[in-house]
Amino acid sequence: MEHEFYMHRCLELALKGSGNVSPNPMVGCVIVHEDQIIGEGYHQKIGEAHAEVNAIKNVIETYGNQAAHLLKNATAYVTLEPCAHFGKTPPCADLLIKHQIKKVVIGNTDPFESVNGKGIEKLKNAGIEVVSGILDEECKIVNRRFFTRIKEHRPYFILKWAQTADGFSAPADQSQQWISGAEAKTLTHHWRSEEDAILVGKNTVLADNPQLNTREVTGKNPIRLVIDKNLETPLHYHIFNDAAKTIIFNEVKTEVIDNIHYVQMEDMHFYLPQKIAYQLYLMDIQSVIIEGGANILSQFIAANLWDEARIFTSKTEWKQGIEAPTINAKLIEDIVVGNDSLQILKR
C-alpha cells in the first residue's frame, strides 16, 4: 500500500506533461526518505530533462549540503523504467546510480528496445534494490499512446463524433449544423490539446470550414491532418492559416509551403487507414483524434485501426441525415456533458 500511495503521486505528476512530451512517454518521479517526500519531478517537455533528473534536482535545491546523504538512503518511485541509453538526454539509470539511491520502485518496464529491462538490470548490477509492477495497469493507461506506438508501430487513434438521438451525425446535404452543446465543444478542444494531431476528411472541411484548434481552452493546437485526394479545398479555408502545421494527404503532389505539408499517396481508395497510420508513425506522431466525417471514421473502424471512441449523443432528433458510424466496443464510461451524453468506448 505504501508503494501504491507514492506511485499514485507519480502518476499525478506524469499527467502534467500531457500534450508536451510526445513522442516520449509521460513520466513522474517521487523521492522518499523515511516516509517523507523530499523531491518530485516529471518530464515536462520533449528534449528536456526527464522526471528523475527533475526530482533529484528538486532534492538538491531544497536540501543543499544534506541532499547527498538523504539520496543515499532514499527510495525513488518512477512510473516507467529509467532509461539506460543516451538519447536527447543522458541515461536516468546512471544518474540514480551516481547518487547511490537505495531503492527504485517502478510502475512499468519500458517496451522501447533501447531500454526494455536494461535500466532495471543496470540498477541491480549497481547494488540498488528494484521493485517493479506497482500500479502496472494504471501506469499503462497513462502511457497508452506511447505503448501503442512502440508495440504496434502506429499512433493511438481516438475516434470522436456527435450524433442525434436517432443516430445521425450530419445533415443529408452536408451543410453545417451543430449537434452537441457548448460544454461538449469545450471538452473537445481540451482533448485536442492533449493529442499530437487531428484528422478530418475533405467533405468535413468543405462543409464546416473548421479551424481544428483549441480556441476554447488554453493549450497547444494539434497538427491538422486532412484527407483531400484531389486537392479540392479552397486555399482561403482555415486549414491553410498559420495557426498550426497542416498535413494534406493527396494523390497529386508532395510539397512543403510554409506550414502546409502536402504528402502524396498512391491509390488512396485502397487501404487508406493503414497507409495513413504508417505514414504518421514515420513522422513520430503518437496520437490522433479522428473527428470525421462518417466515411473516414467508418474506414478506420472497418480496418480495426482505432483504440478509443468518444461519442456525444444529443437529445435532438433529425428523422433523416447521414447515419453515424456503428461500433462494437467495451463501454468504459457513460457521463452527462451539458445537455448531451458522452460514451467512452475501448477497442
Instruction: Report how far residue 304's alpha carbon sits from residue 298's, in angstroms, rounded to the nearest whole number.
Output: 10
Q: Is 113 a catalytic residue?
A: no
Helix (H, G, I), strand (E, B) or coil at 198: strand
What is the phi/psi pair of residue 248, to 5°?
-115, 115
- To the question of whether residue 195 is assigned a binding role by annotation, the answer is no
Dihedral, CA atoms, 141, 310, 190, 6, nearest 10 degrees? -20
Cβ count near 269 (within 10 Å): 7
Burial of 316 (0-12, 13-18, 19+ CB in 10 A): middle
Q: What is the gyration radius of the CA atoms in the chain, in angstroms?
A: 23
- To the question of whether residue 178 is assigned a binding role by annotation, the answer is yes
- To the question of whether residue 110 is assigned a binding role by annotation, the answer is no
- To the question of whether residue 50 is assigned a binding role by annotation, the answer is yes
Q: Which three cell numbers stand for residue 337?
A: 456533458
Beta carbons within 8 Å of 303's beta carbon, 6+ residues apart: 271, 273, 274
What's the maximum distance between 2 C-alpha atoms anywhere in the chain?
73
Please give the span between the terminal C-alpha atoms of the chain, in angstroms, as a whole number. 31
Q: Which three cell numbers stand for residue 221?
A: 493546437
Burial pattern 292-309, b for ≥16 Cβ within 10 A else e, equals: bbbebbbbbbeeebbbbb
- To the question of whether residue 3 is assigned a binding role by annotation, the answer is no
- To the question of whether residue 326 is assigned a binding role by annotation, the answer is no
> Secondary structure of the chain: what % helix, strand, coil (to 5)?
30, 25, 40
Helix (H, G, I), strand (E, B) or coil at 37: strand
- To the question of whether residue 215 is assigned a binding role by annotation, the answer is yes
- To the question of whether residue 29 is assigned a binding role by annotation, the answer is no
Helix (H, G, I), strand (E, B) or coil at 125: helix
- To the question of whether residue 192 is assigned a binding role by annotation, the answer is yes
Instruction: Tell me which of 52, 81, 194, 308 is the catalytic residue.
Output: 52
- To the question of whether residue 231 is assigned a binding role by annotation, the answer is no
Identify whether the C-beta of residue 293 lies closer than 8 Å to the C-beta of residue 152.
no
Active site residues: 52
The binding site for substrate consists of 192, 212, 215, 291
The binding site for Zn(2+) consists of 50, 83, 92
The binding site consists of 50, 83, 92, 162, 178, 192, 204, 208, 212, 215, 291
